Every structure is written in structure tokens, then in C-alpha cells.
Amino acid sequence: MNQRIVLVGGGTGVYQVVLHLKHICRNIATIQTMFDGGGYSGKLRDEIGILPPGDIVRAILAGADDSLSWSMRQLFSYRFNAPGTSLERATWSGFTFAALCKIHHGNVINAIQEMCQIAHCKIKVLPVTVDNAHLCARLDDSSIISGEGFIDCRPRDDHRRIESVYLDPGAQLFPGAGAAIVRADKVVFCPGSLFTSVIPNALVSGFSESLEKSRARKIMVINTMTNKSETDGFKASDFARELLKRLGIEKFDAVICNRAKIRPDLLEKYAQEQSYPVKVDRAALERCAHQVIVRNVVEQGEVVRHGSKLASIISEL
């Protein structure tokens, strides 16, 4: 119950892990990527000048106490359906976070703390940085794409591969995030878009140094499905190798992969997006980690999501 677990990532990956792990462990911190440039988060960033709130707010909602009312949960996740208006894809939580940033004179940390109080959040939610930086990708034809939203949402007929990603300008690690990593018993790199949600954290100056100082077990959860824009054709070891390169460590202590077969109807649905199950190449993966865990760790509803079984494995490791 008291082990210190730090979850690193962004988007739905961290959300799903927190949603279940908070019922097992009480000392959880999340470190969220802060380079979202798409959707309404990107619009708030461009027009109001605040750091993108999307991933931060998701983590807060995931960590909310069970006593949070149904209405408040609906408010936190509410998105306006108003095509052609200034409210298109706007969120209540985005507005609230932007207002709190302005009330606190641009202090993102104070805004996050206020949001956590509103949501009765049981975990610590930390930004990887408070610097305003943009994610850029260099593709295999030497072209550069600037902006997370443009990297992740390329057309399906764009078959160029990502060769490297970097921050422009560079960013410094938020001290609170560094301290959490150093004190942690486990640092878990959650599933998510590899080049736009997971790796960007490792690009922040000071992140790999804090990880090196930490005696925590370093754990990576491998994605269940590939992503056309980022990881088309990737096997499990490809995910691990790409992250290891940025972290500057030789091996993870453990990697966790899914072995459950995906339902045929879901396979067909994902195939329309040119997304396919990640193959677990165990022999190659063992060169990336001291322990390779291959189990059924997903739940299959309308989409494939990591569930409570993953949270149990993380807590038991």
C-alpha cells in the first residue's frame, strides 16, 4: 500500500493505470507530458498562452476520490459539441484550468493543486516541466514536423517514419517531478503514443539524470496496438529500444506486454485505422529488460484498454 509509484506518460495511458492502481496503492504520483499541441488544449495554449491542460486534467480525474459526485465527473469530462463555433471541442476542465492559471498569475503548479482539490484527487499530479516548449519530429525524408498534434495525426497515406524527436526550445525538468523520481520505489512508463506521449518526458533536461539517481525499479508497459503515424510495424522490443535510447539506461528492470487475443470485431475496427496488435518478440525483448512479463492485461469493450490486471502486476512486482 505504501510503496511510492511514479507513473510517466500522458493521455489515456496514465489515466487507465491510475483508475485501477489508486485502489491498491495510496502513494502514487503521475508525471505528465506538457507538449500537447492539438485539439482544444492546443487552442488554449496558442490563444491564451497557458500550458496545455489536457493530460494534466485526465490524470486528476483518474485520481479523483470515489466520493466525487456524478455531476462533477461529468463536468470534468464534458466536451462541447458545437461544430463551426468557438466552442467546438472545448472542455469545461480546459476552461477551468485556464481560469485558475490566470487567477494564480500564470502559476501552473498552483492551478494544478486547485484542480486536485476540486476533484478530491487522491494522487499527486505533476507536470514534467513548466517551460513552454514544442515537440518536433524529424522524418525519414529529413522533413521536420513541429507540434504534437501534427505529428500524431498525419494522414493515413503518409508512410514516412519518425527518425527522431526533440523539443524546441529545450525544457527543464520541474523540480517536484525530479524529486518524485529520485524517491520512488517504482517508475512506470505507461502505455501511450510512444513518440508524442511517452518519449517527450525523457527529452526534458534533468529527467534522465533524476532517473539515474533513483534506486526505483524501472518498468515499461508496452502498447497493445500499433499506431500508424508513430509505430507502424513496431514489435515490442522496438518500443523498448526507442525509449531506452532516450533514457540513457541499458535495460529496464521489467517490461509488461499483453498476451490476450483481441476480439475479431475490434481487430477489424482497428485495422480501419491501420492499427494492429503489437507482436511480442520475447528473445529481443529480453535484451531490453531483466524481466519480461507477458500476461492478459487488457479489457475489451468498444476499444482495447489496459485494466485492473495491469495495476495488480505493477503493485506486485
- Domain residue spans of the chain: 1-32+177-317, 35-126
21: nearest Cα among 55, 59, 70, 50? 59
Predicted pLDDT of residue 46: 67
pLDDT of 222 above 80: yes
Q: Which three cell numbers stand for residue 19?
A: 483508475
**Three cell numbers written together for 266:** 475490434
SS3 category, 19: helix
Instruction: Write out pLDDT tens, residues 200-221.
Output: 999 999 999 999 999 999 999 9
pLDDT at 42: 64
C-alpha 94/C-alpha 54 separation (Å) is: 7
For the stretch 69-89, pLDDT in tens is 888 888 888 888 777 777 777
d(CA 310, CA 221): 9
Q: Average pLDDT for residues 287-302, to the nearest whole number? A: 95
Task: Dump pLDDT digits (tens) for 123-142.
Answer: 999 999 999 899 999 999 99
| 3.40.50.1000, 3.40.50.10680, 3.40.50.2300, 3.20.20.70: CATH of 1-32+177-317 | 3.40.50.10680
Residues 6+ apart with CB under 8 A from 9: 30, 31, 32, 33, 189, 190, 191, 192, 197, 198, 201
- Average confidence (pLDDT) over 139-149: 91
Written in H, E and C, the secondary structure of 164-226 is EEEEECCCECCHHHHHHHHHCCEEEECCCCHHHHHHHHHCCECHHHHHHHCCCEEEEECCCEC
Higher pLDDT, 196 or 51: 196
On average, the pLDDT of the chain sits at 90
